[in-house]
């Protein structure tokens, strides 16, 4: 009896369409417009999910600004950190700490080549299982900073095979 009423049938067809339209309309009204980074300002880098797991690399980003980190232990208290950037950097520093509230000694990374997109350097590290990586990078006179877990440093898969070898092909 309910489905014989024409108003109910029209309402059942129109309601999902209105819900989808309102979803996009609200997003359009409340979203932040992208802004160009201003010289002298500071911007927080957001860690992607691969930083929290044994993925072998960590990506931190803010809009179009993106840093990709790989790390390997060179000594019990030293780590070779490699950074790939989407934009030329003026400089980058990194530090390891045992917890998010603790300050650790920092190390300055050096550019690998003249385009200043690849950086590397040995930085002092802690031996804790749940260590944190803190980063500050400078590009176009703006400072980008972030913090993430250092679990990404260990690359582990359940297949016992290193899939990073064929990554660029």
CATH number, domain containing residue 75: 2.60.40.1930
For range 147-158, the mean pLDDT: 70
Q: Which domain holds residue 143?
A: 42-153
* Residue 166 located in a structural domain: no
Domain total of the chain = 2
Please, which residues have CB within 8 angstroms of residue 19's CB and are 6 or more apart in sequence? none
* Residue 104 located in a structural domain: yes
Question: pLDDT digit string (tens) for 85-131?
Answer: 988 999 999 888 877 677 777 888 889 988 899 999 888 877 656 78
Distance CA 69, CA 51 (A): 9
- Residue 81: the pLDDT is 87
* Residue 140 located in a structural domain: yes
For range 150-156, the mean pLDDT: 66
- Residue 64: the pLDDT is 87
Q: Is residue 55 located within the same domain as residue 119? A: yes
Q: Is residue 130 located within the same domain as residue 105? A: yes
Across the chain, mean pLDDT equals: 82
Lowest mean pLDDT among 24-33, 42-51, 102-111, 140-149: 102-111
* Residue 37 located in a structural domain: no
Nearest-5° Cα angle at 83, 80 to 86: 175
* Residue 165 located in a structural domain: no
pLDDT band at 34 (very low <50, low <70, confident <90, very high): confident
| CB neighbours of residue 19 within 10 Å | 9
Q: Would the pLDDT of 24 be above 80?
A: yes
Most confident of 29-33, 35-39, 51-55, 133-137: 133-137
Residues pairing with 67 in the sheet: 60, 85
Q: Is residue 18 located within the same domain as residue 74? A: no
* Residue 162 located in a structural domain: no
* Residue 26 located in a structural domain: yes
Q: In the numeric block, which tokens belong to residue 140?
A: 């176009």
Q: Is residue 58 located within the same domain as residue 19? A: no
The Cα-based distances of 106 to 53, 95, 135 in angstroms read 23, 4, 9
Quote the pTM value.
Answer: 0.71
């Amino acid at each position: 009896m309910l489905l014989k009423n024409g108003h109910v049938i029209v309402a059942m067809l129109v309601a999902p369409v209105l819900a989808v339209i309102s979803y996009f309309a609200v997003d359009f009204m409340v979203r932040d417009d992208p802004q160009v980074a201003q010289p002298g300002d500071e911007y927080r880098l957001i860690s992607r999910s691969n930083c929290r797991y044994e993925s072998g690399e960590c990506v931190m980003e803010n809009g179009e600004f993106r840093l990709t980190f790989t790390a390997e232990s060179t000594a019990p208290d030293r780590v070779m950190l490699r950074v790939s950037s989407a934009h030329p950097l003026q400089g980058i520093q990194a530090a390891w700490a045992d917890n998010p509230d603790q300050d650790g000694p920092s190390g300055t990374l050096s550019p690998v080549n003249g385009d200043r997109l690849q950086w590397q350097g040995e930085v002092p590290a802690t031996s804790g299982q749940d260590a944190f990586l803190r980063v500050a990078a400078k590009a176009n006179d703006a400072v980008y900073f972030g913090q993430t877990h250092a679990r990404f440093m260990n690359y582990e898969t359940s297949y016992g095979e290193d899939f990073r070898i064929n990554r660029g092909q």
